[in-house]
């Protein structure tokens, strides 16, 4: 069968990359757009008219439910909701969505969602007919969420340090590298070298782009072309003129440029306490 035209929507770049990489394992799915907010999702849907949408619920600006409400009947795709919030997950399932996937992403749950989407597509499900009950239920849900917003606890969207992964794509495949296993990364022209567990992985990216994907609780930039995992620092040596040399547990020595030595000073202060 022709692959389902699919768009994926998430305001978190890391989550978006992981979802895209996982969906690339399904030949029945063709990701035709990545969207980082509700506005982009609406524009992509109107332009590309996808068969399927993986939609994050909690996003700044327009949330996932508001995206659904903004779409027209004749371009309404099948929807798989993606959410950190379990209270949303149960409501989303009741909204006659194809499925929901809780974060962090579970590959078995993703495979189930893809299977359900294929079944619905093959049974010639009417997209337009499904929208009216979907919107009515969303209206009711949004009203209840608005009434309870002040008393609702704030959920933590951040994955644990053990769960966070970096997606490195190469020749049609994608490798998930646990971020806590990365020693350091450095630039090589238009590429970044990710050094982890004795291996070097190559990723086309700028330092700034890669830094935005790495967990700021774990990684610190020490040079315009180098980012280090602070948990991998074995010792710090002071050099002349206020410079520093960082020795990693793997034996690598990295120089800290003067422009980035303040974070290292703060790290040393914390270690002295």
- Taking Cα atoms as reference points, which of 221, 195, 194 lies closest to residue 208? 221
Q: Which long-range contacts (CB under 8 A, 24 or more apart) does 59-66 make?
A: 59/9, 59/10, 59/11, 60/11, 61/37, 62/37, 62/38, 63/38, 64/9, 64/38, 65/138, 65/141, 65/142, 66/38, 66/142
**Per-position DSSP letters for 103-151, written without gaps between them:** SSP-HHHHHHHHHHHHHHHHTT--HHHHHHHHHHHHHHHHHHHHHTTTT
| Residue 267 confidence class, pLDDT cut points 50, 70, 90 | low
Cβ contacts of 85 within 8 Å, gap of 6 or more:
57, 58, 155
Rounded to a whole number of angstroms, the distance between the first and last alpha carbons of the chain is 63
The pLDDT of residue 50: 93
Half-sphere exposure of 114 (CA within 13 A, CB side): 24
Could you say which DSSP state residue 15 is in?
H
How far CA 246 is from CA of 85, 195, 200, 243, 267, in Å, comes to 40, 15, 19, 10, 12
Question: Over the chain, what is the mean pLDDT?
Answer: 79
Higher per-residue confidence, 1 vs 33: 33
pLDDT at residue 195 greater than cutoff 90: yes
**Average pLDDT in the 205-227 region?**
88
For 130-150, the pLDDT digits (tens) are 444 455 555 555 555 555 544
Beta carbons of 235 and 245 less than 8 angstroms apart: no
pLDDT at residue 153 greater than cutoff 60: no
The pLDDT of residue 200: 92
Tell me the whole-structure pTM to 2 decimals: 0.52
| Strand-pair category, 78-83 with 52-56 | parallel
Beta carbons of 196 and 183 less than 8 angstroms apart: yes
How far CA 218 is from CA of 20, 135, 180, 213, 230, in Å, comes to 24, 41, 8, 12, 6
All structural domains of the chain, each given as residue ranges with its CATH number in brackets, are 4-147 (3.40.50.2300), 165-272 (2.40.50.1020)
Q: Which residue has the tokens 């903004």?
A: 70
For 30-51, the pLDDT digits (tens) are 999 999 999 999 999 999 999 9
């Amino acid at each position: 069968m022709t692959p389902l035209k699919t768009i994926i929507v998430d305001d978190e770049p890391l989550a978006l990359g992981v979802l895209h990489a996982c969906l690339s394992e399904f030949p029945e799915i063709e990701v035709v757009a990545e969207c980082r907010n509700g506005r982009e999702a609406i524009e992509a849907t109107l332009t590309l008219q996808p068969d399927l949408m993986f939609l994050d619920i909690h996003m700044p600006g327009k949330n996932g439910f508001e995206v659904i409400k903004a779409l027209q009947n004749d371009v309404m795709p099948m929807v798989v909701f993606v959410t950190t919030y379990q209270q949303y997950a149960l409501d989303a399932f009741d909204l006659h969505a194809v499925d929901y996937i809780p974060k962090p992403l579970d590959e078995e749950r993703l495979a189930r969602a893809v299977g359900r989407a294929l079944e619905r597509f093959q049974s010639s499900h009417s997209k337009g007919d499904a929208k009216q009950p979907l919107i009515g239920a969303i209206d009711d849900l949004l009203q209840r969420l608005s009434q309870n917003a002040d008393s609702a606890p704030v959920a933590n969207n951040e994955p644990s340090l053990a769960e966070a992964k970096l997606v490195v794509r190469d020749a049609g495949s994608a490798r998930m590298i646990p971020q806590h296993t990365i020693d350091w990364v450095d630039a090589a022209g238009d590429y970044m070298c990710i050094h982890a567990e004795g291996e070097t992985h190559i990723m086309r990216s700028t330092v700034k782009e890669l830094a935005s994907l790495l967990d700021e609780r774990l990684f610190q930039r020490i040079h315009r072309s180098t980012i280090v995992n602070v948990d991998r620092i074995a010792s710090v040596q002071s050099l002349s003129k206020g410079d520093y040399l960082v020795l990693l547990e793997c034996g690598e020595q990295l120089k800290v440029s003067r422009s980035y030595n303040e974070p290292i000073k703060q790290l040393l202060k914390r270690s002295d306490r």
